[in-house]
Amino acid sequence: MEKKRMEEDASASQPTASAEKLPFSPAQLLASIVECSDIAIVTKSLDGLIATWNSGAERLYGYRAEEVLGKSVDFLIPSGQPDELPSIMGRLQRGELIEHYETVRVRKDGGLIDISLTVSPIKSGDGTVIGASTIACDIAERRRIEAEHERLLQLAREQNQRLQAQNEELQAQAEEIQAQQEELRAQNEQLLAQTAELSHANTALLVSERRAEALAGELERERDILQAIMENTSAHLCYLDRQLNFVRVNSTYAAGSGHSAAELIGRNHFELFPNAENQAIFERVRETGEAIQYLAKPFEFSDQPWRGVTYWDWTLTPIKGVDGQVEGLVLSLVDVTEDVRARMRIEELAEEARRRADELDSVFAAMSDVVVVYDAGGTVVRANPAALAAYGLNSVNISREAIGEKLVIRYPDGQPAPLDDLPVARALRGEMVTNRRFIFRDASGHDVTVDASASPLMADGQIRGAVAVWRDVTEREQLLARVQLERQRMEEMIHLIAHDVRQPLTVARGHAQFMQRSLMRGDLERARVSAETIEVSARRLEVMIRDMVDSARLEVGQLQLERQPLDMEAFVRDSLMRLSVALDVSRVRIEVVSPVSAYADPNRLERVLGNLISNAIKYCEPGGEIVVRIQERGHKAMVSVSDQGPGIGPEDLPHLFERGYRAAGEHKSEGLGLGLYIARLLVEAHGGRIWCESEEGKGSSFCFSLPSQ
């Protein structure tokens, strides 16, 4: 009776030109949307008798509508809460709106469920409260996610502490290996007198190398665990240092902020997202060491005004050092904007349907999901802008068959979906369809993955049409695919490290044994060659460990740059002189197109230049010239290293600066394949760019540019 009276009140409003064209009233359309909603929506009289009960309520509580209509709602309230219903009804009679009231209800099977209630008074035309509308959401999953988040956060802290300790131990082991190599060289001068001592030092060296290898593997595994924790959660996670600068963010946080991870790392949170209220909260947590939590807290991105007000469930947790002082903050955000906006949208629709049916167009147009209304014959009579854009239509009055010809609609397995099996066709046959997955090609030619729902529009017991809602889930599916790809790449990297680190250790171990036998025979020359080979292998191992440590630091933004003004010509000449100790730079020619200076860290920049020149020497044809060109281009200091080597295929160019990548057909090279990857991270840390220009058979030019001084 209550539902019928609401429909009569809504239909009594002054009709508009758009409403007269429909075979059903706006109230009927609203009722269908409410019935199609996943949220439990119930209306009741002031004495607590249930008037309406949608399908969302059936799924939440387990009762069918015919089982509860006309009954008092108190059978849903646990026996231990006798005062709750009178309190709620009393507040409603005073015209109060009850929002986000968290409580417990009893399902039909006797189980208890945690829910969040929003209860609105229903008023008559003269403002008298005549009933109540209740919107209930199951919050059990949210509470489970919060508990899981806290568990993951604790695990991340523990993993971070272990990583830090193991990194320090690995560094100490590397220094120990270097010291032992110095001892080997000194002992080589007194071979005949100190054979026994050399054998002992060699044994200690082998043990240390094994420990270094094991620690390197453990460090990589711990990093993988931490990375997996951060990337395999839907929460937006970031870690800030004590000065509130970004240290680490997961990809979900970067995407949600509208910035790349590189743009965030090292920047102050409140320089990017100024908000005095939030800054005060962050500083309070930092000073008190007490965590804080908010639900559906509004926030506006000052640099992204088009996003409007967004809503977030967020937790701010301090990370304390061994001395109990706060060293940083972990911020966990869950974007509930869509949930809040959905609740707001339902409330707005209900209010506007009671007051002014002619404002339905604005609400209809504001929906981000594709919403289409069909008449009983399957012709589109109403569509929101999202639907018009997706279908490539300028107007309605087009049949679903014609739409089917415009759109290529498929099942997730790629098989064509017949028109008769689409949700709207089934709704026109009287069925209600919820969240069916389809893929269709939109008007722009892109494949879009959607969850489609549809419901029949009933009037006088007859099907008068149908409403269909399509939600775009393409980005979520693509994100899952990217996570899987990154996990595969990490596994390949671990395998590569295990393989390449073992080779110099094996060489050093074999020559140490050979040197021991040579010394016992008195063959000093062969012992000297073995000692030099051991030293070369140790240097290779040291470079590999340094590459792994530096790449890890660069990835989390922990590598500090000591910038200073640099005359690029002088810098390149000085660097070549230092590189000449380890590289044959006699074929390298410097060409200054135009003098230019940059503001950069000379030590880090020399590593970039050394890597590029080393690669050019390795791949250049014998006798070929290598040119280092310096110039100013577009207010940038640009340096290029050009060789006359075989060139690089176009299929390899986009991947050259990726971690562990080696070009197809490249001969087996030393190292972990991190050189160009680290060069890219160092250049980008300076705010610059690095790239390669190459043509097969004509050589390659590796270029980087930095902001000029």
Write the pLDDT tens digit of every residue in 653-694.
Answer: 888 888 767 665 554 455 556 778 888 888 998 899 999 999
Question: What is the extent of the structural domain holding 127?
Answer: 28-143
Domain presence at residue 89: yes
- The residues, ordered by sequence, that sit 6+ positions from 323 with a Cβ below 8 Å of its Cβ are none
**Token pair of 271, please?**
């320089």
Helices (H), ranges, 265-336: 269-272, 276-288
**Token pair of 673, please?**
């394949």
**Token pair of 125, please?**
């035309």
Of 69, 47, 49, whose CA–CA distance to 57 is shortest? 69
Identity of the amino acid at 567: D
Which pLDDT value is given to residue 514?
76
180/682: higher pLDDT: 682
Instruction: Please tell me the distance from the alpha carbon of residue 124 to that of residue 119, in angstroms, as a whole number.
Output: 16
H/E/C letters for each residue in 534-601? Answer: HHHHHHHHHHHHHHHHHHHHHHCCCCCCCCEEEEHHHHHHHHHHHHCCCCCCCCEEEEECCCCEEEEC
Same domain (yes/no): 647, 680: yes
5, with CB counted inside 10 A (0-12, 13-18, 19+), is: middle
Same domain (yes/no): 337, 375: no
- Report the number of distinct structural domains present in the chain: 4
pLDDT, tens digit (0-9, with 9 covering 90-100), for 594-607: 999 999 988 889 88
Instruction: Please tell me the distance from the alpha carbon of residue 443 to that of residue 439, in angstroms, as a whole number.
Output: 13
Same domain (yes/no): 572, 605: yes
Which pLDDT value is given to residue 67?
92
Of the residues 472, 500, 524, the one at which a domain ends? 472
For the ranges 396-405, 477-486, 563-572, which has the lowest average pLDDT?
396-405
For the ranges 503-507, 510-514, 699-703, which has the lowest average pLDDT?
503-507
Same domain (yes/no): 281, 309: yes
Of the residues 143, 176, 203, the one at which a domain ends? 143
Measured CA to CA in angstroms, residue 395 lies from 289, 364, 392, 416, 425 at distances of 58, 15, 9, 26, 21
For the ranges 108-112, 235-239, 392-396, 638-642, which has the lowest average pLDDT?
392-396
- Mean pLDDT (whole number) for 410-436: 87
Which pLDDT value is given to residue 547?
59
Identity of the amino acid at 361: D
Q: Would you say residue 117 has pLDDT above 70?
A: yes
Which pLDDT value is given to residue 486?
62
Helices (H), ranges, 310-468: 337-355, 360-366, 385-391, 400-406, 423-427
Of 658, 652, 640, whose CA–CA distance to 696 is shortest? 652
Which pLDDT value is given to residue 358?
60
Q: Would you say residue 534 has pLDDT above 50?
A: yes
- Mean pLDDT (whole number) for 142-152: 84
Of 420, 427, 429, whose CA–CA distance to 455 is shortest? 427
100: left (phi over 0), alpha (psi -120 to 50) or beta: left
Domain presence at residue 631: yes
DSSP-derived secondary structure letter, 45: E
Percent of the chain with pLDDT over 70: 80
Same domain (yes/no): 574, 464: no
CATH classification of the domain holding 630: 3.30.565.10
- Mean pLDDT (whole number) for 425-439: 88
Identity of the amino acid at 642: S
Domain presence at residue 195: no
Q: How many CB atoms lie within 10 A of CB 106?
A: 17
- Mean pLDDT (whole number) for 427-449: 84
Of 574, 662, 568, 572, whose CA–CA distance to 618 is shortest? 662
- Around 522, how many Cα atoms within 13 Å sit in the side-chain half-sphere? 0
- Mean pLDDT (whole number) for 444-472: 86
538/9: higher pLDDT: 538
pLDDT band at 37 (very low <50, low <70, confident <90, very high): confident
Residue 416's SS3 state is strand
Instruction: Please tell me the distance from the alpha carbon of residue 374 to that of residue 419, in angstroms, as a whole number.
Output: 14
Domain presence at residue 207: no
Same domain (yes/no): 289, 267: yes
Which pLDDT value is given to residue 7?
45
Domain presence at residue 177: no
Pairing of strands 292-300, 309-320: antiparallel
- Cα–chain-centroid distance for residue 90? 46
Same domain (yes/no): 415, 309: no
pLDDT, tens digit (0-9, with 9 covering 90-100), for 208-246: 778 878 877 887 887 777 777 777 877 889 999 999 999
Q: Would you say residue 89 has pLDDT above 90?
A: no
Which pLDDT value is given to residue 196?
60
Same domain (yes/no): 588, 693: yes
Angle 195-231/474-521 helices, nearest 10 degrees?
180
Domain presence at residue 393: yes
- Mean pLDDT (whole number) for 38-45: 88
Domain presence at residue 685: yes
Total number of residues shown for the chain: 709
Which pLDDT value is given to residue 670?
52
399/614: higher pLDDT: 614
DSSP-derived secondary structure letter, 47: T
Given a contact cutoff of 8 angstroms between Cβ atoms, the answer to whether 411 and 417 are in contact is yes
383/64: higher pLDDT: 64
Q: How many CB atoms lie within 10 A of CB 431?
A: 13
Of the residues 109, 126, 143, the one at which a domain ends? 143
Same domain (yes/no): 627, 647: yes
pLDDT band at 540 (very low <50, low <70, confident <90, very high): low
DSSP-derived secondary structure letter, 368: S
- Mean pLDDT (whole number) for 307-320: 90
- Mean pLDDT (whole number) for 562-585: 87
- The residues, ordered by sequence, that sit 6+ positions from 619 with a Cβ below 8 Å of its Cβ are 643, 645, 646, 700
Q: Would you say residue 144 has pLDDT above 70?
A: yes
CATH classification of the domain holding 260: 3.30.450.20
pLDDT band at 335 (very low <50, low <70, confident <90, very high): confident
Mean pLDDT of the chain: 81
pLDDT band at 109 (very low <50, low <70, confident <90, very high): very high
Same domain (yes/no): 622, 667: yes
- Mean pLDDT (whole number) for 30-55: 84
Domain presence at residue 491: no
Same domain (yes/no): 333, 439: no
- Cα–chain-centroid distance for residue 180? 45
576/20: higher pLDDT: 576
Same domain (yes/no): 626, 701: yes
Pairing of strands 626-633, 588-592: parallel
